[in-house]
Amino acid sequence: MSKPPLDVLLCAPRGFCAGVVRAIDAVEKALEVYGPPVYVRHEIVHNRYVVDSLRRKGAVFVAELDEVPPGDAPVIFSAHGVPKSVPQEALHRRLFAIDATCPLVTKVHREAEIHHKRGRHVLLIGHAGHPEVVGTMGQLPPGAITLVETLADVGRLLPAPGQELAYVTQTTLSVEDTAVLVAALKARFPGIISPHKEDICYATTNRQGAVKHVAPLVDAMIVVGSNNSSNSQRLREVAEREGCPLVRLILRASDINWDEFDDIRCLGVTAGASAPEVLVEEILDAFAERYDIRVESVSTADESVFFPLPRELREPAAG
């Protein structure tokens, strides 16, 4: 029997961003230079396939530093960033710490610190409990930074009289949702200080832009990524907002419910910034087994961003 035809619009950019590449490379380089075990505080990036792959190579993932035994094995901080208390604890315990925080997250940390030093109260637009938000809030003393998630949160803000305000944002948010919150903050507090440069990172913006372009053109859309990946969830939301009838966030081909994709003629595919291209290829191969697919790449931006490895890993350890 001949297979039904299926046009696939493959979003570009998609998949790994420079910060994710740097973080994964940091773990692999540490394993190469120092040998296993290499301890990693939290998931290095939010993708189970990547984490499991690194675990097989000798990475040991821990929730907190108290799970790391004394010794000279490296311990790496994830791309999402950590509160200041974490490197302080590592220093106190004389652990060999390597910080793989994405430089664009570090930029937000520095912004928050500068605002605090200048006497401003900092508002952080982000999602409660996300590791990046925990890390950013942990850059400042308790009470110096307030999390804003919703318009209702904006309405509840009661800064002290004469208190200057500034805001920063999580790097992986929905561009459109964040714009709504920023507009509400500026309407309520006209003097609020904005970031010098957009905090939502280039990769988040570019991937959402590609999905925004493709989603109205297809019958269904697959976002390759993990459920706990903020940027992948935002891609799903963007596709739904743009009117795509069926949007699924899927990690592996085995997760596909084929009944849902029975009658489609055009499929959009993208991947979150922590999803490797091998998973995109796996899902395309699975569709190729059932359909006569014709793949077209739809590019809406060029990316050439590169971040060097953490300083401790740029040269092999002596001896």
Catalytic (active site) residue 132: yes
74-77 vs 165-169, strand pairing mode:
unpaired
| Spatial separation of the C-alpha atoms in residues 162 and 193, rounded to whole Å | 14
DSSP assignment of 70-114? SSS-EEEE-TT---THHHHHHHHTT-EEEE---HHHHHHHHHHHH
Q: Which two structure tokens, joined as six digits, stand for 17?
A: 């961003």
244 in Cβ contact with 211 (< 8 Å): no
Q: Count other Cβ atoms within 10 Å, centred on residue 29.
A: 20
Count the Cβ atoms, other than its own, within 10 Å of residue 84: 14
- Among residues 43, 132, 237, 312, which one is catalytic? 132
DSSP H helical ranges for 157-201: 175-188
Active site residues: 132
